[in-house]
Structure 1
Amino acid sequence: MARRTFFSFHYQEDVWRCWNVRNCLVVSKDQEAQGFFDGSVFEASKKEGDEALKTFLRNGLNNTSVTCVLAGHYTAGRRWVRYEIVRSVLKGNGLLTVDIHGVRNNDKQLGVKGTNPLDQVGLYLANGKILFAEVKGGKWVRYEDYTLAIPAADLWFDAPTSDTVVPLSKHCMRYDFAARQGQHRWLDRNGGRPGWPLEMHS
């Protein structure tokens, strides 16, 4: 079964780096990519309003089983990257972060390592409901772009058991693309969802 990967990233800042990483990661017939949108389409959706853009991003996740967050200097704070992460959890996609600061941009410049975006989104238990949270101003607050409760059965990791926010990074891998020279391997999770990125090997 083909493993279709959705790539989440900060378009304006990192698109050049992301295209290069994407071309290295998607190397075989059983690895396909989603999530590389034409910039003009993305901007047009934003102009139509938040709900139109949310629909656009949700549709982009269709038929994917893994979400790879390509993290640059500013990615962690981007609203729509966080939305893609949240919708990936709701969809049941496997998640991982790939740091891309070591990849040169179109001006041949290296980037600065940023915060792991999966450190900035998490889950907590409040009044018997599992809810999303995000970091704003250095503090955890309730996530505003999706406010419904999440059934514990819908999660592929242990559900939170208290009002202490558990960041998604606790359950997901982080991988430095340049340090590992872009070498990787996707492995399926035994008995789990297809396309789960369990290990990445040199």
Structure 2
Amino acid sequence: MARKTFFSFHYSPDCWRAWNVRNSWEIKGTKEGVGFFDNSVFEASKKEGDDALKRFLREGLANTSVTCVLAGSETSARRWVRYEIARSVIKGNGLLTVDIHGVKNSKGFVATKGTDPLALMGLYRTVNGIYLAEAKGGKWVKYGDYTRAIPENDLWFTAPATDTVVPFSRHCSRYDFANQDGRNKLGGWIEVAAKQAGR
């Protein structure tokens, strides 16, 4: 079954790689990928302010069931990738990371492998509820772009039991597009993530 999938990535360094990954999937006949934005549209929303950009990204996630984080060298620290991950968790999307550093860019170069973005975001429990956290400066802090509690029943994975942050990578798979035959397997990876989330 084809899944409507939001692709999250760091635009400037990885757009060429991300387009190649998505196009390889569409060649297989799925044509269910969304979340690829023209940079001018993204920049225009950014100029309108953070609230406009957040709304733009939430609208991009609408009607999707899976979020595929295409991870390059610098993706894990990107604020708006983190926001897309946070909103995906709130929405109940399946999640996975696909490393794309090994895909050649427009000049024919590969990059160095980056940190899994899903390892630098997670959830923790307080007496007031379950909250998002992100890693900054080598420690966990409360996530600043969404500060409300997340209802436990909205989570497709086991909620944290304590105030120790549980990263999303503990529940989600990570793959390497270049080294694990992503051209032929990406659809299957996405399907696994969808089923894990009950989507």
Does the TM-score normalized on the shorter chain lie above 0.5? yes
Q: Structure 1 residue runs of 4+, over 3 Å off? A: 26-31
1:154 and 2:146 matched: no
1:127 shift after superposition: 1.7
1:23 shift after superposition: 1.0
Please name the residue that 1:108 is paired with: 108
Please name the residue that 2:26 is paired with: 26
1:1-202 equivalence runs, <5 A: 2-182=2-182, 183-184=184-185, 185=188, 186-187=191-192, 189=195, 193-194=198-199
The letter of the residue matching 1:153 is: N
Distance 1:128 1:26 in 2: 44
Distance 1:173 1:153 in 2: 22
Normalization by structure 1: what TM-score? 0.91
1:8·1:84 contact (CA, 8 Å) conserved in 2? Answer: yes
Indicate how the Cα distance of structure 1 residues 164 and 44 shifts in structure 2: closer, same or farther if over 3 A, else same. Answer: same
Q: Cα RMSD between the aligned structures?
A: 1.4
Indicate how the Cα distance of structure 1 residues 85 and 158 shifts in structure 2: closer, same or farther if over 3 A, else same. Answer: same
Look up the SS of the partner of 2:20 in the other structure. helix
Distance 2:14 2:72 in 1: 7
Normalization by structure 2: what TM-score? 0.93
Deviation string 1:47-81 (CA, Å, 9 cap, x unpaired) is: 00000000000000011000000000000000000
The letter of the residue matching 2:143 is: Y
Unaligned runs of 5+ in 1: 195-202
The letter of the residue matching 1:13 is: P
Deviation string 1:29-53 (CA, Å, 9 cap, x unpaired) is: 5550111001000000000000000
1:4·1:32 contact (CA, 8 Å) conserved in 2? Answer: yes
Distance 2:27 2:156 in 1: 27
Unaligned runs of 5+ in 2: none
2:121·2:168 contact (CA, 8 Å) conserved in 1? Answer: yes
Indicate how the Cα distance of structure 1 residues 20 and 30 shifts in structure 2: closer, same or farther if over 3 A, else same. Answer: closer
Look up the SS of the partner of 1:131 in the other structure. strand
In the alignment of these two chains, the number of paired residues is: 193
Structure ranking higher in helix proportion: 2
2:94·2:195 contact (CA, 8 Å) conserved in 1? Answer: no
Distance 2:27 2:109 in 1: 25
1:104 shift after superposition: 0.4
